[in-house]
Chain A
Amino acid sequence: RKEVEQDPGPFNVPEGATVAFNCTYSNSASQSFFWYRQDCRKEPKLLMSVYSSGNEDGRFTAQLNRASQYISLLIRDSKLSDSATYLCVVTKNSGNTPLVFGKGTRLSVIA
């Protein structure tokens, strides 16, 4: 089983839609979880951390289910500028580092 698995997509959604991405991870000892965003030919950038209680940042909501080893990202009211690849990220072991990246889910928001 891969360390971090994501549906590669692409997800093609109209502006204003709500879209959800899921991710599963294999190491039950992982302690920290993140979503990163990567634009074409750019470096990955931190979108948000994922906390056990779930957390929200504007239109973005992240959820963690430790029992199922599952992470999700919900984007509400999609904007054209949300088009990117979203990377699910977990720590490799029980420490804070290093981080293991999923291969990403590609999102295209269409006008």
Chain B
Amino acid sequence: DTGVSQDPRHKITKRGQNVTFRCDPISEHNRLYWYRQTLGQGPEFLTYFQNEAQLEKSRLLSDRFSAERPKGSFSTLEIQRTEQGDSAMYLCASSLYGLAVEEQFFGPGTRLTVL
């Protein structure tokens, strides 16, 4: 299966620790998106890349959050000094920009619990 993959699927950490998540998009997709989803809500946009360039960041993305996509393939999302409010599902999606209609395909997500 060559869908979007995310690692780890679950992460439990203590408040104040740093965590890093990885996303591997569908191989031919040039856009990669990060979303956050809290219980009972729809996903909220965090940031996205086109190839290696980070084109937009949401106001939700505080200074403690940083994302990279160094070679235009996989991406990492790092959260520094985690807080309990960071507990959520972090979703990655990828798409092929340039088609008439762009469709985003999601990975299984990383569930973060901050104790």
Q: Is chain B a partner of chain A in the same complex?
A: no
Binding site for B on A (CB under 8 A): none
**Which B residues are closer than 8 A to A by beta carbons?**
none
